[in-house]
Structure 1
Amino acid sequence: MRRGAWCLAAALWSGLALAEAPDRTVGWVEPVTLMPWNLPFEAKLDSGALTSSLDARDIERFERDGESWVRFRLQFDDEDKGETFAMTLERPRVRRLTVRGAGGTDDRPVVLMDVCVDGVRHEEEFSLRDRSEMTYPILLGRRTIGHLGRLDVASTHLTEPGCDGDAPRKPHRPDEEASGDDGASEAHEEKGETDGAEASSSSAAEPEDAPASE
């Protein structure tokens, strides 16, 4: 029953995404740039996941002026230069989600980050977790994919890398996040890497990601 409900929700989302998405086709792996630092990454685009995910280390939760904030470390290995880039960021926590795994449940903070795809900056929600054992440091879920274009799961690298300083920016729209089917329980496996869709509230737990085998 739950699988049938999820399939119906996915079909409805696909129709809406095609109607609202830009006239662009993206592959299941694309070059993205984390802004405003112009950090290049390879990202996996996965329609089996709802919320996008960002590799974050040393995650700390704290309060500032009565609001929930998150402090975390970004780490980027530049294989061409043989260098490791790391920096600590602080962001307001926009919500949290609970993910269910073999070891129990895990609450993950969600923050807003700017990511550039094919020359356009998108302010998107990202859940924070240590993805050091995953193949890709960034996963773009279907909320973000709906802003990018049509997903071609048989292709990769259909977009141009890089982002100019005057690139157009599309701000986050909370009303779009509220319309998603956050309660659906999804386990999606591709290329040995499982990235389950994630719930938008602490009351709905979702499957945990599994490390990549690549």
Structure 2
Amino acid sequence: MRFSALLLTLLLALPLAPASASSTEQHHTVIGWIEAIKISPTGEQVVQAKIDSGADNSSLHATEIEYIEKDQQTWVRFKTIQGISYETPLLKKTSIKMKDGNRQQRPVIVANLCIGNRLNEIRLNLVDRGHFKYPALIGRSAMSGYLIDPKNKHLAGHPDCGLTDNR
């Protein structure tokens, strides 16, 4: 009887024990709500990004966006906030619902995202973000493996993943 009571107490206490916090910390990188990042194809340019779990998609400031044919496929040519021109293959076009209810077509590219020393391949839409404070927004679809500390900025350090500028 005494053993049964002890066993029952232990079994009831197990679900209340915290899930292995150390294993979570080993597989996730803690980042702030603002981070310095590098994104291919603009690999050597460091830009400030807002980390936004409320947004599904990631966006990069781009102007003079145009579609071109290259190597028998559609590519996108655009300029970054620094005014540098890039070309990269177009993955698809997406329709984003705006705050006013209208929809906006945006080009989507595959890009490498460097935060700290961690490199991830993401889908990135190109849009004029000139009226926003941060030229890049990283949405939740690109956040696998990251935990966001909403009280802090720049926890990941300078982005250093070996990305190079591939204009």
Specify the TM-score bucket, using the shorter chain as the normaliser.
Answer: 0.7 to 0.9
Please state whether the residue corresponding to 2:134 is helix, strand or coil.
coil
**Offset of residue 161 of structure 1:** 0.7
Q: Residue 39 of structure 2 is aligned with which of 14, 34, 37?
A: 34
* Residue aligning to 1:143: 141
Please state whether the residue corresponding to 2:126 is helix, strand or coil.
strand
- 1:96-154 CA-to-partner distances (Å, cap 9, x unmatched) read 2112333832110100122211112222211000000011001000011124x111222
**Offset of residue 30 of structure 1:** 1.0
* Residue aligning to 1:72: 78
* Residue aligning to 1:112: 110
Please state whether the residue corresponding to 1:108 is helix, strand or coil.
strand
- 1:159-182 CA-to-partner distances (Å, cap 9, x unmatched) read 11131538xxxxxxxxxxxxxxxx
Native 8 Å contact 2:119 2:161 kept in 1: no
Equivalenced residue count is 138
**Which has the bigger relative contact order, CA under 8 A and spacing at least 6?**
2
2 CA distance for matches of 1:62 and 1:33?
Answer: 25
1 CA distance for matches of 2:148 and 2:132?
Answer: 21
Unaligned runs of 5+ in 1: 1-17, 77-85, 167-214
Native 8 Å contact 1:33 1:161 kept in 2: no
Question: Over aligned residues, Cα RMSD in angstroms?
Answer: 2.3
Question: Which entry has the higher C-alpha Rg, 1 or 2?
Answer: 2
User: Map of 1:38-57 to 2, 5 A cutoff?
Assistant: 38-57=44-63
- Runs (4 or more) in structure 1 with deviation over 6 Å come to none
**Offset of residue 29 of structure 1:** 0.7
Q: Aligned AA for 2:92?
A: R
Q: What TM-score does the superposition give when structure 1 sets the normalisation length?
A: 0.58
Unaligned runs of 5+ in 2: 1-22
Native 8 Å contact 2:81 2:135 kept in 1: no
Please state whether the residue corresponding to 1:112 is helix, strand or coil.
strand
Identical-residue share of aligned pairs (%)? 30
Q: What TM-score does the superposition give when structure 2 sets the normalisation length?
A: 0.73
1 CA distance for matches of 2:161 and 2:56?
Answer: 28
Cα distance, 1:165–1:64 mapped onto 2, change above 3 Å: closer
**Offset of residue 59 of structure 1:** 0.4
